[in-house]
Structure 1
Amino acid sequence: MSLAEDAKVPESIARWKKEMDKFAAADQKHPVQPGGVVFVGSSSIRMWDLKKSFPELDAVNRGFGGSRLEDSVYYADQIVLPYQPRTVVVYAGDNDIAAKYTPEQILEDFQEFETKIHQQLPETKILYIAVKPSIARWKMIDQVRGTNKLIAEECAKTENCEFIDIDAPMLGEDGKPRKELFKKDGLHMTDAGYVIWAKALEPHLAN
């Protein structure tokens, strides 16, 4: 039975089956070695040139654009756990907020993600990149910061879980998102945006 035919799986989650098939094919062609770093989440992960940002890092990109945190929870069995990574970097929550999920709902999904990873891989470090402040979704900044606050608090009390705050570095002197960090759509990032993310993340990647 396919995911789409399985009534237990919401269509919003089942729609990623083709992406998962692509990842499975990539794994078959180039098996992922255990002990590396897996990046998972939405388009900000998918579009990240990890080799450019972290040339020495044994990294695997399993981002799928448009996804929500609940999608990463559901598919962790396929695109995180089998790789037995030492670290998981996750960026999701952006699309959740745009879909009217509350900060509390997103926190619940993050807690589920953390539990799913640590039940099987208790020593694996989870690095959650804060939901970014963007030009396109600036009207949602209160929900963005509310979500970040809850997840930061969760990480602070959870072993092998760290919150990567990228809010302030992405803002200009006027307190608004810096235009040079974003593409024309005001949502996806330029190379300059990824430089900021890489700088914030790098100290946390060292074991």
Structure 2
Amino acid sequence: MKKTAALVTAFLFCTISLFAQQKPFWNDIQAFKKQDSINPPPQQAILLIGSSSFTKWHDVQNYFPNYTIVNRAFGGSTLPDVIGYVNDIVFPYHPKQVVVFCGDNDLASSDTITASTVINRFKNLFQIIRAQLPNTSIVYVSIKPSPSRQKLMPKQQEANNEIKKFLKKQGNTAFVDVYHKMLNTDGSIMSDIFLEDQLHMNAKGYTIWQKEIQPVLKK
């Protein structure tokens, strides 16, 4: 009996230790892998990666019916999170185009995170993808303004401007400016394109994104 109890205790300890060691968003990545094993996604598709504004775009394929979209964004992620899982959410799909929306959560995570931090993180992600997929187009969708993060707007604009400048010097890239399209003529943030949390968008907000993103997508 004592031996059995000891074995059970050891098993529980190992199990708890395993979960404690799991990286953030591990379950999200495993869910992607399970989904892929059941229904393998097409290769050479347009791959969306990044944070929750992509994750919550559940009907994104309906917005782009003439394109093949694979969405592997996971909500709450920052650029380091995406970099940490790049071998799981990018390279297995051999995408012809990678569309990135990330950086918003980076700025919101801490007052110590500057626009320069976000810029350098994105450059790191870009270089990792470009090194292994040299012919793949890379698109960055600008950090968006939102009522709940209004105080971050100066940092958001700085990061957007510098990432745009960086991409202009790279081949086979595009920068999509959704930031200014989500503002009223007086510079205030549109109030009717967000859900109740004042962070994520409703269908009207995604329609703005569709209009700006579609022209840069690869057929």
Q: Distance in 1 between matches of 2:72 and 2:91?
A: 12
Shift of 1:56: 2.3
CA deviations over 1:108-158 (Å, ceiling 9, x no partner): 111111111111110101110000011111111000001101111111111
Shift of 1:174: 2.4
Kept in 2: contact 1:89–1:129 (CA 8 A): yes
**Which residue identity is paired with 2:24?**
R
Kept in 1: contact 2:195–2:201 (CA 8 A): yes
> 1:28 is matched with which residue?
37
TM-score by length of 2: 0.87
> 1:95 is matched with which residue?
105
**Which residue identity is paired with 1:66?**
G
TM-score by length of 1: 0.92
Quick check: which one's helix share is greater?
2
Identify unmatched segments of 5+ residues in structure 2: 1-16
- Size of the aligned set, in residue pairs, is 200
Shift of 1:3: 8.3
CA deviations over 1:66-108 (Å, ceiling 9, x no partner): 1001111111110111100000111001110101321111111
> 1:44 is matched with which residue?
53
Q: Distance in 1 between matches of 2:157 and 2:20?
A: 34
Q: Distance in 2 between matches of 1:204 and 1:164?
A: 8
Q: Distance in 2 between matches of 1:24 and 1:188?
A: 26
Pairwise mapping of residues 86-165 of structure 1 onto structure 2 (< 5 A)? 86-100=96-110, 101-165=113-177
Q: Which has the larger radius of gyration?
A: 2
> 1:18 is matched with which residue?
27
Kept in 1: contact 2:142–2:178 (CA 8 A): yes
Shift of 1:63: 1.1
Indicate how the Cα distance of structure 1 residues 191 and 33 shifts in structure 2: closer, same or farther if over 3 A, else same: same
Amino-acid identity (%): 35
Identify unmatched segments of 5+ residues in structure 1: 6-10
CA deviations over 1:160-199 (Å, ceiling 9, x no partner): 2211111221111221111111111111001011001111
Kept in 1: contact 2:182–2:190 (CA 8 A): yes
Q: Distance in 1 between matches of 2:99 and 2:18?
A: 29
CA-based RMSD: 1.5
**Which residue identity is paired with 1:23?**
F
**Which residue identity is paired with 1:174?**
D
Q: Distance in 1 between matches of 2:96 and 2:30?
A: 24
